[in-house]
Structure 1
Amino acid sequence: MTTCTTMRSAVMLSAGLFLAGSLMLAFAEFTGWAVPASQLALLLVLGAAVTLVVAVLIALWPGNARRLTECLH
């Protein structure tokens, strides 16, 4: 069941993954582990995008859209 709390959690998870990916990319630039760190950064950023897209698709589903209109923003 989709609730306001789960949607907020999905958005916060996406933001956290994006922030971790950005920090990992900065880490990759300044260390000798450029290739593994940049690959991990790419996976984190892409994971953030996928998480956000899935959250939007779930929110747009007809039954969930009605339930989520009652959320306080």
Structure 2
Amino acid sequence: MLNCRSMRVVVIVSGLLLAAGLLLGLVAVAAPLTMAYTQMALMLVLAGAAVLSVAFVDALLPGADQRLDGCQH
């Protein structure tokens, strides 16, 4: 179960994974070893989406409104 602080960290980590995947995808276009970089970029983007979806599902669980009620956003 995530609290306010860990939810914030999860969202930031997810954004960083997505950004790293996109940047590596741009590098993959110009790099000679395209296949390795492309696969790593895809894994980073999918990991970012998976982390964000875990946070979303956790926010939908019963009792999440009480845990996340005091969050300042």
Same-fold call, TM cutoff 0.5: yes
Whole-angstrom distance in 2 between the partners of 1:2 and 1:39:
30
Whole-angstrom distance in 1 between the partners of 2:65 and 2:43:
30
The one-letter amino acid paired with 1:41 is: A
Higher helix proportion, which one? 1
Q: Which 4+ residue blocks in structure 1 deviate beyond 2 angstroms?
A: none
What count of residue pairs does the alignment treat as equivalent?
73
Whole-angstrom distance in 2 between the partners of 1:20 and 1:44:
7
Partner of 1:45: 45
How far the C-alpha of 1:2 sits from its partner, in A, is: 2.2
TM-score (norm 2): 0.94
Partner of 1:56: 56
How far the C-alpha of 1:69 sits from its partner, in A, is: 1.9
TM-score (norm 1): 0.94
Percent identity over paired residues? 40
1:10-33 CA-partner distances (Å, limit 9, x unpaired): 000100000000010011001101
Matches within 5 A, 1:1-73: 1-73=1-73
